Chain A
């Protein structure tokens, strides 16, 4: 169990942010740190790993104090036993896949390292150098390497953000599978809702450096919906007058839709508004692609 209660002044995109988070992460859970970029999600992971230092507060892992500003305790990263998957994977380019894992292990054990590679379908690549691997393979090696560390907690900093949509979706499944096999307490930074939904047991939603919402993804993301059966959040991209009606172009995730509205409705709308698009009367039709 990881307990954190920390604060730090951060220089964000919009100015100084007072980052302040208190939270407890239970053993074996998969958490997502969700929110816009530049509000301290990555910094939170880095503070847990000991790569950045909070201004005040405490971080305790299974009763062991990693950081306590009052008692002036600040364990170096080497002593914290965290596995960190960096956004750029940070693979050691001069070492083969297997050597990367062996280097990460607290005690060198080839058969154990090979077991991990086997479980993640990477065994065939064990002699390869990282720069001969594809983006998706590199990501998996990075994940395998941090598992080889036998960490108390796994920290994943937007591990899938650099990949194309297809690879990403496949790796989300793998990440889920890997979590089920190794049961590591995991904290993943993400700003992709579908990813959060697919993977996490719990979500920590940050806004402007503070906890905005916390709980199961279903509760958090579905609680805002009205009584309507079908509802999506989107952004107004364009409003165009056509004869007596208006056509509003809305971006919903990666889709763009056009919705017809009348003059009384259009009064309240502006380009850039975040809105809810819902339908009540029609049953949606679902087709397999």
Chain B
């Protein structure tokens, strides 16, 4: 029996509606226990377990709606995330241009300890649609990713199941190092100072 807990990772998926976040996730996860509440509470939740090196990790995927009325939930949604995935539609330049705003919004709401090193992964979805129609070039996307903290970049097609597995493997890996990044060598033995005897020496050491 293993007593080692599996690493629990919170992954937040952001992006304009219509870019295919949900399909992307559904393509990847174990659907058995997923929820369908996005319209009512602003988010859906999925999970998936996988191996990263010799760690077993469980990913808790938060698929949030972009809608206004759930704006105030941003803090709750983003708080404590181990990785943030920014998704856009390669055929929709507007959704690509929105990435910066999503990233900034996330950093504000999640308030990670070290924003510079917080792991983001960018996913350009819907590459199944013919290359001629692709409005955001791979080069452009990669440049953007490089310029904004060297974010890993993947092109995927949820529909054709292209690139999804690879993307999530990196997401898991980066999230895991974020989760385990600090070795808390704290002193876990807070002592309580108790003076029992009235005749104890006045020395307070």
A binds B: no
